[in-house]
């Protein structure tokens, strides 16, 4: 087992070393004299437990803050943006025709943040806030642009994107440090969700937690239930994407959180290499994000736990670990739209399903319990 762990860890280090990563330079505001035809902008509002690099700066470090910090960033999306991808700006040539480009940013305080995110969308549509919680080994810039991509691919203009960012070390060797940082950020996410829940101007909240951010999201919901701060639950739709959560722990979390309406959705892939490494670190204890939906025990547990589990292995992944497939889900839109707006082929009931990317439908896997 030890040799397998070191082999897996070495492979992850090699794969990570091959990829260049964005830094604070992508946050620099660029002057665009003429917006390209077909380009659009996304404004992402940020609530973060990261420390600012300096006062009144919108550069955030991997050091923890004692309190939430707030900001907004407006990003231009290129006309020929490919769904599920981030067309990163190049240091030597920023081009709004082909790249995501930062066009505005603002330091916010708590009051201005909540005033902005609760603003009514055009057309008289109900206020809908989409909160994204990133995962392990993620820097601030990666999380920010990922939320912009998710919103650009799935939004019809009615949802206000919010990023909750916690101080990940953004290092493949920082797993334990990240787990501690995520744990320390529970109160911050709980505060954000509770405030949105009590805000009468906010009608709906969609929470997407990825990887370790899925664990953090589930912990925050559990904490809200235990503290009887339940205003958010009547507005809430929850998606956990490739959640890095121990199976027994998830069962315990659900017992406190209780059934949600619509049911909590868990996006899984059996071939997720990042979760395979996490499983080794956890002494071969299974991770929820790598469940096999064809397993009759998983099918039964989904019904008992009132959870919808969707296998998204059919989607391509933008990373070598098969850990970021969720970024493609938003391009299909159907799973992320409000339940009343979904096409007839998509159900939001509990159970285990396989995503059919061709028909954009959810199909039941082979039911081993009934021999079908």
Q: Is 140 exposed, middle or buried (0-12, 13-18, 19+ CB in 10 A)?
A: buried
- For residue 137, the enclosing domain spans 2-363
155/57: higher pLDDT: 57
Residue 372, domain member (yes or no): no
Residue 368, domain member (yes or no): no
Residue 178, domain member (yes or no): yes
Residue 371, domain member (yes or no): no
**pLDDT surpasses 80 at 210:** yes
Euclidean distance between CA atoms 361 and 193, whole angstroms: 30
Residue 370, domain member (yes or no): no
pLDDT in tens, 319-344: 677 778 888 877 665 444 444 444 44
Q: Please give the average per-residue pLDDT across 166-190, as a whole number.
A: 97
- Give pLDDT, residue 13: 52
Q: Please give the average per-residue pLDDT across 180-192, as a whole number.
A: 98
247/362: higher pLDDT: 247
Q: How confident is the model at residue 20 (pLDDT cuts 50, 70, 90)?
A: confident
- Give pLDDT, residue 336: 44
Output the pTM of the full model.
Answer: 0.90
Q: How confident is the model at residue 356 (pLDDT cuts 50, 70, 90)?
A: low
**pLDDT surpasses 60 at 205:** yes
187/297: higher pLDDT: 187
Would you give the DSSP letter of residue 136? Answer: S
Euclidean distance between CA atoms 66 and 246, whole angstroms: 28
Dump the DSSP string for 209-247.
EETHHHHHHHHHHHHHHHTT--GGGGGEEEEEES---BH
Q: What is the CATH number of the domain that holds 16?
A: 3.40.50
Q: Please give the average per-residue pLDDT across 267-273, as a whole number.
A: 89
Residue 48, domain member (yes or no): yes
**pLDDT surpasses 90 at 100:** yes
**pLDDT surpasses 80 at 17:** no
**pLDDT surpasses 60 at 226:** yes
- Give pLDDT, residue 322: 73
pLDDT in tens, 229-248: 999 999 999 999 999 999 99
Q: Is 41 helix (H, G, I), strand (E, B) or coil?
A: strand
Q: Mean pLDDT score of the chain, rounded to an integer?
A: 86
- Give pLDDT, residue 349: 78
Lowest mean pLDDT, pick from 94-103, 157-166, 274-283: 274-283
**pLDDT surpasses 70 at 295:** yes
Give the total number of structural domains in the chain: 1
- Give pLDDT, residue 323: 78
Residue 233, domain member (yes or no): yes
Rounded (10°) CA dihedral 332, 182, 144, 62: -150
Q: Please give the average per-residue pLDDT across 286-315, as a whole number.
A: 90
Residue 79, domain member (yes or no): yes
**pLDDT surpasses 60 at 22:** yes
């Amino acid at each position: 087992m030890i040799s397998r762990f070191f082999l897996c860890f070495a492979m992850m280090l090699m794969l990570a070393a091959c990829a260049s990563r964005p830094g604070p330079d992508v946050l620099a505001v660029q002057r665009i004299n003429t917006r390209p035809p077909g380009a659009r902008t996304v404004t992402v509002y940020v609530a973060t437990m990261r420390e600012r690099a300096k006062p009144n700066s919108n550069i955030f470090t991997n050091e923890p803050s004692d309190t939430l910090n707030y900001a907004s960033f407006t990003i231009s999306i290129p006309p020929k943006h490919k769904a599920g991808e981030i067309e990163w700006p190049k240091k030597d040539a920023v081009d709004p025709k082909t790249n995501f480009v930062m066009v505005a940013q603002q330091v916010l305080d708590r009051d201005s943040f909540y005033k902005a995110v609760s603003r009514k969308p055009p057309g008289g549509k109900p206020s809908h806030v989409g909160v994204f919680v990133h995962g392990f080994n993620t820097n601030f810039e990666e999380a920010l642009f990922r939320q912009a991509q998710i919103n650009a691919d799935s939004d019809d203009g009615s949802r206000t994107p919010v990023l909750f960012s916690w101080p990940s070390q953004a290092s493949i060797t920082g797993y334990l440090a990240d787990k501690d940082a995520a744990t320390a950020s529970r109160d911050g996410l709980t505060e954000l969700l509770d405030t949105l829940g009590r805000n009468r101007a906010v009608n709906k909240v969609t929470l997407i937690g990825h990887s370790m951010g899925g664990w953090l999201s589930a912990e925050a919901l559990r904490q809200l239930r235990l503290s009887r701060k339940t205003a958010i639950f009547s507005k809430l739709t929850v998606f956990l994407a490739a959640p890095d959560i121990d199976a027994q722990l998830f069962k315990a979390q659900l017992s406190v959180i209780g059934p949600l309406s619509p049911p909590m959705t868990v996006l899984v892939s059996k071939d997720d290499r990042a979760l395979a490494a996490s499983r080794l670190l956890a002494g071969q204890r299974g991770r929820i994000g790598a469940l096999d939906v064809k397993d009759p025990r998983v099918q039964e547990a989904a019904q008992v736990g009132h959870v919808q589990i969707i296998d998204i292995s059919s989607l391509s992944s933008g990373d070598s670990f098969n850990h970021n497939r969720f970024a493609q889900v938003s391009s299909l839109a159907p799973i992320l739209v409000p339940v009343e707006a979904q096409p007839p082929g998509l159900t939001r009931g509990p159970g285990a399903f396989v995503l059919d990317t061709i028909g954009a439908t959810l199909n039941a896997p082979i039911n081993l319990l009934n021999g079908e």
